[in-house]
Structure 1
Amino acid sequence: MIKIYLKQAWELLKQNPLFSSLYVVGTGLAIAMTMIMAVVYYVKIAPVYPEVNRMNTLYLTNSRFQKGEGDHKSTFQWGFSLKAVQEWFYPVENATVVSASLQNDMTENSYIQPSDRSGDFSVSLKLVDPNFFRIYSFRFLEGQAFTASDLESGIATAVITEELSRRLFGTVEGVVGRSFSLNYADYRVCGVVRGASFLTSKSYAQVYMPYSVAKGYQEPKYDIPYLGAYGVTFMVEDDAQAKALRAEIDEVLRKVNLVHKDEWTVSIWDQPTSHLLSAFKQYAGQEFDTWATVRHFLLVLLVLLLVPALNLSGMIASRMESRLTEMGVRKSFGAGRGSLLSQVMWENLLLTLLGGLLGLLLAWLGLYLCREWVFSVFESWPSALPEGVEVRVSGEMLFAPLVFLAALLLCVALNMLSALLPAWHSLRKPIIYSLNEKR
């Protein structure tokens, strides 16, 4: 019976090309817009290369130090000094991996001087420790990460991406041990990795170096020995350990504030922040309202899916009026209301599935062609794309079956509901009315 319904649906689709086209295109656009929004947030929060440990990663990026009292009170907001990292965070017990990174002028403005003298070009640089490569699962094409001994001794070594390797040396093979010039200093390559996408901002860079190569990497800021430009990333086993880690850090800072209460006090808001929350918070001190965020996304989904469904419902009601004679004839030959309703639903299901396929193709096309801006369209403060950097959208970002299936099922449910109501209303009319209805 289902096979017969689908054949009838296909014939009706060909007989009514305008209605069918509008239905398929309307459904396709609704699914495409929903898919685009879903994929944008999927890329932000799902475990994608090399940030495959996102669900077990927490970030501590900012601190607030306060000195003095009353009118003489001063507030300093920045990161942490190396002294703070070494004394407060590296020794924590409730984390499987702790990694620190330095954000300074070197990470913001670094230029490579190619050996062929073709002209300096800027690169994205991260100053990290070896544990960085334990949290972020980079695939090494050659060599390995720098070691703890390299970090301690300040050896000028670097891990580079395969794209940069090809640009500098024309290959990714036999690169380990070769040198390149960055800011007019020579650095030896110790490893080549498959690069991260610019969309995975926590791990993205073109060059990774020990933070000890930076000038003044041990110096604190503003005469506060624990204030600096370091951020800390933690990897935990589960939510229970994450909760224990936050409690442990709060206890460390409580003791620190007691010891230095006559000099300054330090606070870190609600950090360390989970990766999920960091995707929605623009800065560490921002208040996050879960229900407000949920309401926002529900409203967006209503606009993207419910409005097209209502329009389709009107189209279906108009079409059902034109098919009353057909339905009346079938009723007179013994067709039940349930049988006729099933036929209408299968017709709309076929059109919805065709629309889903169109929507999937449109979403992929839009995400790929507009990738330089579409992934930042929902951000309050989008970061500018560095010069010469291409936003790479990998297959695992685009081909997310569960995301598409969820969007399709939601759209199918709404479309079926939009078809059911007008169809049910039309089929309730008496046979005499249906047979006398003129097309």
Structure 2
Amino acid sequence: MIHLYLKQAWALLKQNKLFSTLYIAGTGLAIAMTMVMAIAYYVKIAPVYPEVNRLNTLYLTNCRIEQGPEGNKSVYQWAVSYKALQDWFYPTRNALCVSAQLNSGTFSDSYIQPADRSGDFSVKTKLTDPAFFRIYPFRFLEGKPFTASDLAGGICTEVITDELSRRLFGVSKGVVGRSFRLNYTDYRICGVVDAASYLMQRSYAQVYLPYSVEADYREPKYGMDYLGAYSVTFLVKDNEQADALKAEVKDIVRKENLMHPDEWKVEFWEQPVSHLVSIFHSFVGKEFDVWATVRYFLLVLLVLLLVPALNLSGMIASRMENRLAEMGVRKSFGAGRRALLSQVMWENLLLTLAGGILGLVLAWVIMYTMREWVFNVFDKWPDSVPQGVDITVSGEMLFAPLVFVAVLLLCIVLNTLSALVPAWHSLRKPIINALNEKR
């Protein structure tokens, strides 16, 4: 019976080309827009190389310190200092791995001076420690990360990407041990990694350096021992250990504030936060409103899926009026309302699947050709792409089967309801009225 319904649906699709085209195009556009949004957030949230540990990663990026007695306080807000790393975070017990990244003013605009004197060009650098490569397991094409000894000694060594290696030396292998000038200082290459996409904001760089190459990496900010320019990343085993880590950090805050209540107080708010929360919570000092975020996405889905479904419902209602005579004939030969509704449902399903394929292809085209805009359009504080950096969109980003299936199923449900409601209403008319309808 289903095979017969599909054959009938295919025949009707060819007979009513305008209706079928509009239906498929409307469904495809709704799915494409929803897929674009879903993939954009999938890339931000899902485990994608090299950020494959996102589900078990937590971040601490901001610190607030109040100094002075009550009524005459000075408030400072920045990140944490080198001393805070050594005293508070590196020794934490409830983390598999702890890494720090230095937000350096000196290296924020870094330039390489090629040996052939072809002209300086800018590169994106990241100042970190060896633990960074355990939290973000890059694929090393050759060599290895810089070591704890390199970090302690301030050795000018670095890990670079294969893309930068090809630009500098023409090859991606056989360059370990070679040097080049960065900001007019010679650095020796200790490893080459498979480059991450620029969309992986937590891990992306073209050059990875020990943070100790910064001259004043030990210096605090504003004269406060624990205020500095380091952000901290934690890797935990599971949610239970994540909760234990948060409790441990809160205990650090409690103890420090009890030790010198009249001198200064430290505040980390609800940090460290999970990767998921960090995507939707742009300012850690403000309480995260989960339901406001949920309402926002429900509204977006309403616009992207429900509005097109209502438009399609109107088209189907008009089409059903034109098919009443056909339905009346089928009723007179004993077809029940259930059988007629089943036929309408299968016709709708065939058109929706065709629209789904169109929507998927259209979404891929949009994501690839407009990638510099699409992946930032939903951000409150979008970053501009650095000059010379190409946003790489890998297959694992574009092809997310679960995302497509979820969007398609939601669209099928809405489209089926938009088809069955007008069909059920039309089929309630008496058979004599249906037979008297003009074709």
Length-normalised TM-score, structure 1: 0.98
Describe how 1:24-423 pairs up with structure 2 within 5 A. Answer: 24-69=24-69, 72-423=72-423
Give the match's secondary structure for 1:318.
helix
Instruction: Kindly state the Cα deviation for residue 292 of structure 1 after the two structures are TM-superposed.
Output: 1.0
> Aligned AA for 2:111?
Y
Instruction: Kindly state the Cα deviation for residue 369 of structure 1 after the two structures are TM-superposed.
Output: 0.8
- Name the CA distance, whole Å, in 2 between partners of 1:165 and 1:153: 25
Q: Deviations over 1:203-226 (max 9, x none)?
A: 010000100111111111111111
- Name the CA distance, whole Å, in 2 between partners of 1:24 and 1:301: 19
Give the match's secondary structure for 2:119.
coil
Q: What's the % identity of the aligned pairs?
A: 70
Instruction: Kindly state the Cα deviation for residue 247 of structure 1 after the two structures are TM-superposed.
Output: 1.0
- Name the CA distance, whole Å, in 2 between partners of 1:324 and 1:253: 73
- Name the CA distance, whole Å, in 1 between partners of 2:43 and 2:60: 21
- Name the CA distance, whole Å, in 2 between partners of 1:286 and 1:139: 37
Structure 1 residues without counterparts, runs of 5 or longer: none
- Name the CA distance, whole Å, in 2 between partners of 1:394 and 1:287: 35
Tell whether the 8 Å contact from 2:220 to 2:227 is kept in structure 1 after alignment. yes
Q: In the comparison of the two structures, how many residue pairs are matched?
A: 439
- Name the CA distance, whole Å, in 1 between partners of 2:152 and 2:2: 71
- Name the CA distance, whole Å, in 2 between partners of 1:284 and 1:294: 18
Instruction: Kindly state the Cα deviation for residue 70 of structure 1 after the two structures are TM-superposed.
Output: 5.2
Instruction: Kindly state the Cα deviation for residue 71 of structure 1 after the two structures are TM-superposed.
Output: 5.7
Give the match's secondary structure for 1:377.
coil
- Name the CA distance, whole Å, in 2 between partners of 1:345 and 1:259: 70
Length-normalised TM-score, structure 2: 0.98
- Name the CA distance, whole Å, in 2 between partners of 1:385 and 1:397: 18
Instruction: Kindly state the Cα deviation for residue 424 of structure 1 after the two structures are TM-superposed.
Output: 0.9
> Aligned AA for 2:263?
E
> Aligned AA for 1:376?
N
Tell whether the 8 Å contact from 2:9 to 2:347 is kept in structure 1 after alignment. yes
Give the match's secondary structure for 1:50.
coil
Give the match's secondary structure for 2:59.
strand
Give the match's secondary structure for 2:219.
coil
- Name the CA distance, whole Å, in 2 between partners of 1:46 and 1:57: 12
Q: Deviations over 1:190-247 (max 9, x none)?
A: 1111111111100010000100111111111111111111111001111111111111
- Name the CA distance, whole Å, in 1 between partners of 2:71 and 2:118: 56
Superposed CA RMSD: 1.0
Tell whether the 8 Å contact from 2:372 to 2:385 is kept in structure 1 after alignment. yes
- Name the CA distance, whole Å, in 1 between partners of 2:253 and 2:233: 17
Q: Deviations over 1:164-207 (max 9, x none)?
A: 01001110110100101100000011111111111110001000
- Name the CA distance, whole Å, in 2 between partners of 1:263 and 1:219: 20
> Aligned AA for 1:319?
R
Structure 2 residues without counterparts, runs of 5 or longer: none
Give the match's secondary structure for 1:301.
helix
> Aligned AA for 2:17?
P
Tell whether the 8 Å contact from 2:6 to 2:347 is kept in structure 1 after alignment. yes
- Name the CA distance, whole Å, in 1 between partners of 2:157 and 2:414: 57
Q: Deviations over 1:81-119 (max 9, x none)?
A: 111101111001000100111101133111101111111
- Name the CA distance, whole Å, in 2 between partners of 1:104 and 1:173: 29
